[in-house]
Amino acid sequence: MLAPITEMYSIIFYKSIGLQRFLTLTGKKSQNKSRVRTSDPVPALDLGQQLQLKVQRMHDIETENQKLRETLEEYNKEFAEVKNQEVTIKALKEKIREYEQTLKNQAENIALEKEQKLQNDFAEKERKLQETQMSTASKLEEAEHKVQALQTALEKTRTELFDLKTKYDEETTAK
Residue whose C-alpha is closest to residue 11's, from 42, 38, 44: 44
- Interatomic CA distance for residues 145 and 136, integer angstroms: 14
What digits encode the pLDDT tens for the residues 107-117?
A: 999 999 999 99
| Contacts for 43 with CB less than 8 Å, ≥ 6 apart | 4
| Contacts for 52 with CB less than 8 Å, ≥ 6 apart | 12, 15
Q: Hey, what amino acid is at 27?
A: G
What digits encode the pLDDT tens for the residues 50-76?
A: 999 999 999 999 999 999 999 999 999
Mean pLDDT value across the chain: 84
- Interatomic CA distance for residues 19 and 139, integer angstroms: 137
With a cut of 60, say whether residue 136 has pLDDT above it: yes
Rg of the Cα trace of the chain? 64
